[in-house]
């Protein structure tokens, strides 16, 4: 478990450079001082190719702002919002971009560009639900944009955001639509790059895929090395996954310097992470350590991206193979924290997409319901003019409408309840997810504190679980977790709080429970997990888990402190050989610290 200040989760920040490269303008032309229109166009064209000059031109335009016509002023406000987004000052960027995107201007192209930039800014700022809602608005406006090149930006941002939400097939579909309408090499290069990424993230990219060759060729003709090397990174990552580490090393090293000249930090982090994993596979631990550390250094401070997660895992494996237990433990803690942060951010984006998608569907159904209701009202007007027999038909139709409304209200309520349950439960095991475990555990501890009752915390972490995924695959790992959770649930009391904290780590809060009882229950759970048969898990692997136990007598009623102490006990169980129960006692911690000091003295 990660100790201290938590990571700031912004994995999308690493994509800022890529997003603006996708949305970049055309080549710049000269801008005479007295031609304000040309000055605006030049500033717009050079935003990504000559950022320093763009800033200087924008300052000149700010000085002329009051003399500009309304359309020119709107364009300057758009450029201000674009600059703030590029500088990562998203809270400054969002209001002006939103004002331009939502105003009833005749300049549909400018509104659309503001919408696209705003969608990216919302995503970068972590406003995921609003970003996906804005994306739907952007795609509704897209068909009305007259300029083909600008219209393609809708496909670009849709492919990128859907990839971030794990909707890889949908992202690939948007990329295909861009490819189908694109005729210039630069556009083909970028569109295929998005398609290849969606295939790779969705485990559908094939070795020696002709699409990759076509995309890299287009990037070469358009002088777009960043996108070409992004595609190479996916191919190299696939090679490592398929056990062809030497091929991955050869491909990445051949293009390493070209990639570095793009100054795209995320690309270099991906290259370094791939090299680290590949060198680990071939047994070159020195190179593996070197490139893993580079991947971490390339990333923006406090950002959680997949290359950083993989790099910490490599450092952990190298330290473990070198017999450096202290370093291995330290790297494993960093890996676990980074992995949890990355998964949490990914889950937030996926949940935001699902919520917005459901809202869009509900709105569509509501419109359909209103349309049907309007049709019924028209029929009512006709029925009112008819005979008694027609009046009976009117009553029948009215009853149908009321029944439809009741049925729709029932469906809507069920849908809301289903999504509330999804938001509280872990998708794999069906128990509480991390957030709701923390919320319920805190509420129970507050109640125990007020009533003076004791409570205990148990942390469970499965031993050598990575070996299950590496040897038998993630599907087998999921089956093991589901089987183990089923065994644990058999031994839960009605008032126990049981949740998945992330990966293979679980937490159990036992209210009205003393330490001796908690240790007995932890031992019972340990034996139950160790007793899982291979017919239950479906794999040839002995399952076991380590347990860390603490009590409010030692820790107090602060949930964070209980988790820290239980985590300390859990790591002691790991160090002492795994498949055991360890408890946190302040005296034991002090003795352990004294022993460490003595061992470190010459």
Q: What is the pLDDT of residues 282-323, one digit of tens each?
A: 999 999 999 999 988 877 555 668 899 999 999 999 999 999
In this predicted structure, the answer to whether residue 589 has a pLDDT above a threshold of 60 is no
Query: Is 589 a member of any domain?
Result: yes
Residue predicted with more confidence, 102 or 212 = 212
Let me know whether 376 and 506 are in one domain.
no
pLDDT at position 384 is 63
In this predicted structure, the answer to whether residue 21 has a pLDDT above a threshold of 70 is no
Residue predicted with more confidence, 599 or 517 = 517
Let me know whether 413 and 446 are in one domain.
no
In this predicted structure, the answer to whether residue 119 has a pLDDT above a threshold of 80 is yes
In this predicted structure, the answer to whether residue 8 has a pLDDT above a threshold of 90 is no
Rounded to whole angstroms, the Cα distance separating 87 from 82 reads 9
Let me know whether 393 and 454 are in one domain.
no
- Domain boundary residue, one of 367, 385, 419: 419
- Name the 3-class secondary structure at 170: helix
As a whole number, mean pLDDT of residues 218-238 equals: 92
Rounded to whole angstroms, the Cα distance separating 43 from 50 reads 9
Residue 158, CA distances (Å) to 81, 279, 374 in order? 20, 36, 34
Provide the number of structural domains found in the chain: 2
Q: What is the mean pLDDT of the chain?
A: 82
- Quick: pLDDT tens for 564-573: 999 999 999 9
Residue predicted with more confidence, 5 or 39 = 39
Let me know whether 372 and 505 are in one domain.
no
Rounded to whole angstroms, the Cα distance separating 240 from 281 reads 8
Let me know whether 411 and 506 are in one domain.
no
In this predicted structure, the answer to whether residue 550 has a pLDDT above a threshold of 80 is yes
Structure-derived torsion over alpha carbons of residues 63, 67, 69, 75, reported in degrees to the nearest 10:
0
As a whole number, mean pLDDT of residues 468-487 equals: 85
Q: Which domain holds residue 518?
A: 434-600
Let me know whether 400 and 462 are in one domain.
no
- Domain boundary residue, one of 361, 394, 419: 419
- Domain boundary residue, one of 396, 419, 442: 419
Q: Which of the residue ranges 343-347, 383-387, 573-577 has the most confident prediction, judged by mean pLDDT?
A: 573-577
List of residues 6+ apart from 583 with CB closer than 8 A = 515, 519, 548, 549, 550, 569
Query: Is 132 a member of any domain?
Result: no
Let me know whether 502 and 376 are in one domain.
no
The tokens describing 218, both together, are 């287009």
Query: Is 279 a member of any domain?
Result: no
Query: Is 503 a member of any domain?
Result: yes
Let me know whether 549 and 461 are in one domain.
yes
- Quick: pLDDT tens for 32-53: 445 888 999 898 887 766 778 9
As a whole number, mean pLDDT of residues 469-485 equals: 85
Least confident of 259-268, 405-414, 520-529: 405-414
Residue 472, CA distances (Å) to 23, 275, 363, 477, 479 in order? 42, 24, 44, 7, 11
- Residue 380's pLDDT band (boundaries 50, 70, 90)? low
Residue whose structure tokens are 């319920």: 440
- Residue 596's pLDDT band (boundaries 50, 70, 90)? very low
In this predicted structure, the answer to whether residue 214 has a pLDDT above a threshold of 80 is yes
pLDDT at position 581 is 96
pLDDT at position 7 is 34
Rounded to whole angstroms, the Cα distance separating 191 from 22 reads 9
Q: What are phi and psi of 549, to 5 degrees?
A: -125, 140
Q: With contact defined as beta carbons under 8 Å apart, do 97 and 116 qualify? A: no
- Name the 3-class secondary structure at 457: strand
As a whole number, mean pLDDT of residues 345-374 equals: 70
pLDDT at position 138 is 83
Whether the full predicted model's pTM is greater than 0.85, yes or no, is no
Least confident of 202-206, 218-222, 249-253, 368-372: 368-372
pLDDT at position 103 is 79
Let me know whether 468 and 396 are in one domain.
no
- Quick: pLDDT tens for 133-190: 888 888 888 888 888 878 888 888 888 888 888 889 999 999 999 999 888 998 899 9
Query: Is 528 a member of any domain?
Result: yes
Query: Is 358 a member of any domain?
Result: yes
Region label for 533, one of left (φ > 0), alpha (ψ between -120 and 50) or beta (otherwise): beta
Least confident of 74-78, 220-224, 422-426: 422-426
- Residue 27's pLDDT band (boundaries 50, 70, 90)? very low
pLDDT at position 517 is 95
Residue predicted with more confidence, 211 or 477 = 211
- Residue 13's pLDDT band (boundaries 50, 70, 90)? very low
pLDDT at position 3 is 34
- The kind and range of the H/E element at 200 are helix 185-201
pLDDT at position 496 is 93
The tokens describing 275, both together, are 């090299």
Let me know whether 515 and 395 are in one domain.
no
pLDDT at position 14 is 45
* Rounded percentage of the chain residues whose pLDDT exceeds 90: 39
Let me know whether 395 and 511 are in one domain.
no
As a whole number, mean pLDDT of residues 72-87 equals: 87
- Name the 3-class secondary structure at 289: helix
As a whole number, mean pLDDT of residues 335-351 equals: 81
The tokens describing 257, both together, are 């310097």
In this predicted structure, the answer to whether residue 463 has a pLDDT above a threshold of 60 is yes
In this predicted structure, the answer to whether residue 557 has a pLDDT above a threshold of 80 is yes
Let me know whether 461 and 414 are in one domain.
no
* Helices and strands (H and E) in the chain: how many: 26, 5
As a whole number, mean pLDDT of residues 214-232 equals: 91
* Rounded percentage of the chain residues whose pLDDT exceeds 70: 81
Q: With contact defined as beta carbons under 8 Å apart, do 42 and 29 qualify? A: yes
In this predicted structure, the answer to whether residue 442 has a pLDDT above a threshold of 60 is yes
Query: Is 330 a member of any domain?
Result: no
As a whole number, mean pLDDT of residues 553-560 equals: 93
Query: Is 562 a member of any domain?
Result: yes
In this predicted structure, the answer to whether residue 593 has a pLDDT above a threshold of 50 is no
- Residue 602's pLDDT band (boundaries 50, 70, 90)? very low
CATH code for position 473: 3.30.70.270
């Amino acid at each position: 478990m990660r100790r201290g200040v938590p990571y700031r989760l912004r994995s999308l920040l690493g994509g800022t450079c890529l997003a603006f490269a996708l949305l970049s303008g055309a080549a710049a032309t000269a801008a005479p001082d007295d031609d304000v229109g040309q000055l605006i166009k030049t500033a717009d064209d050079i935003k990504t190719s000559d950022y320093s000059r763009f800033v200087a031109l924008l300052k000149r335009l700010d000085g002329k702002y009051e003399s500009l016509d309304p359309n020119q002023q709107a364009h300057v406000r758009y450029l201000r919002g674009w600059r703030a987004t590029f500088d990562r000052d998203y809270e400054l960027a969002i209001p002006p971009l939103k004002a331009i995107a939502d105003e009833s201007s005749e300049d549909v192209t400018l509104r659309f560009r503001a919408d696209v930039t705003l969608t990216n800014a919302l995503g970068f700022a972590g406003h995921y639900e609003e970003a996906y809602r804005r994306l739907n608005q952007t795609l509704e406006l897209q068909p009305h944009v007259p300029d083909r090149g600008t219209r393609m930006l809708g496909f670009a941002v849709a492919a990128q955001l859907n990839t971030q939400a794990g909707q890889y097939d949908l992202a690939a579909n948007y990329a295909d639509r861009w490819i189908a309408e694109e005729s210039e090499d630069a556009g083909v290069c970028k569109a295929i790059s998005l398609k290849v990424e969606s295939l790779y993230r969705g485990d559908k990219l094939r070795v020696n895929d002709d699409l990759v060759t076509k995309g890299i060729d287009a990037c070469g003709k358009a002088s777009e090395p960043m996108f070409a090397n992004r595609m190479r990174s996916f191919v190299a990552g696939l090679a490592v996954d398929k056990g062809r580490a030497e091929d991955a090393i050869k491909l990445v090293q051949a293009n390493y310097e070209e990639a570095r000249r793009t100054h795209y930090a995320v690309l270099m982090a991906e290259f370094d992470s791939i090299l680290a994993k590949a060198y680990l596979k071939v047994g070159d631990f020195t190179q593996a350590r070197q490139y893993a550390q580079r991947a971490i250094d390339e990333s923006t401070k406090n950002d959680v991206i997949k290359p950083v997660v993989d790099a910490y895992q490599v450092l952990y494996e190298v330290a473990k193979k070198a017999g450096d237990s202290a370093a291995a433990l330290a790297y494993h803690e960093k890996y676990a924290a980074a992995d949890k942060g990355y998964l949490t951010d990914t889950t937030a984006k996926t949940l935001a997409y699902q919520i917005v998608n459901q809202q869009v569907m509900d709105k569509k159904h509501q419109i359909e319901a209103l349309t049907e209701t309007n049709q019924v009202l028209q029929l009512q007007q006709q029925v009112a003019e008819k005979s008694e027999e027609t009046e009976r038909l009117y009553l029948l139709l009215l009853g149908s409408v009321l029944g439809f409304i009741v049925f729709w209200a029932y469906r809507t309520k069920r849908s809301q309840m289903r999504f509330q349950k999804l938001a509280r439960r872990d998708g794999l095991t069906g128990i509480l997810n991390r957030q709701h475990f923390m919320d319920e555990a805190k509420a129970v501890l507050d109640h125990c504190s007020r009533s003076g009752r004791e409570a205990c915390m148990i942390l469970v972490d499965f031993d050598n679980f990575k070996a299950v995924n590496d040897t038998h695959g993630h599907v087998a790992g999921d089956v093991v977790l589901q089987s183990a959770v089923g065994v644990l649930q058999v031994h839960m009391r009605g008032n126990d709080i049981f949740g998945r904290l992330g990966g293979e780590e679980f937490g159990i809060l036992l209210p009205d429970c003393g330490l001796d009882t908690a240790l007995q229950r932890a031992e019972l759970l340990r034996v139950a997990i160790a007793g899982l048969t291979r017919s239950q898990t479906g794999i040839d692997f002995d399952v076991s888990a380590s347990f860390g136990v603490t009590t409010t007598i030692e820790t107090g009623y602060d949930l964070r402190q209980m988790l820290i102490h239980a985590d300390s006990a859990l790591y002691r169980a790991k160090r002492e050989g795994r498949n055991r129960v360890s408890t946190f006692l302040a005296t034991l911690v002090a003795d352990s610290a004294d022993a460490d000091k003595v061992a470190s003295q010459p």
